[in-house]
Amino acid sequence: MENNRNKIERWFDRHNHTMEFIRTIVAITVLVLQVVILLHIFRS
């Protein structure tokens, strides 16, 4: 179990910046979609 945890932690350490970039892109996409949906609701 300890060895498996270390492998997972090392994988996360190697891909930390990529995961941060993906999280930022997803957050921006969600924000844009929310604005589009709200505009669509209030224009109807």
pLDDT band at residue 32, thresholds of 50, 70 and 90?
Answer: very high
Number of domains in the chain: 1
Residue-number span of the structural domain to which 35 is assigned: 2-43
Confidence of residue 21 (pLDDT cuts 50, 70, 90): very high
Residues in the chain: 44
Residue with tokens 């209030």: 42
* 24's tokens: 């930022």
Question: Which residues make Cβ contacts (< 8 Å) with residue 12, sequence separation at least 6?
Answer: 19
- Say if residue 1's pLDDT is above 80: no
Query: CA-to-CA distance for 19 and 2, rounded, in angstroms?
Result: 24
- Rounded to an integer, what distance in angstroms lies between the CA atom of residue 15 and that of residue 12? 5
Residue position matching structure tokens 């996409």: 29
Token pair listed for 8: 């997972």
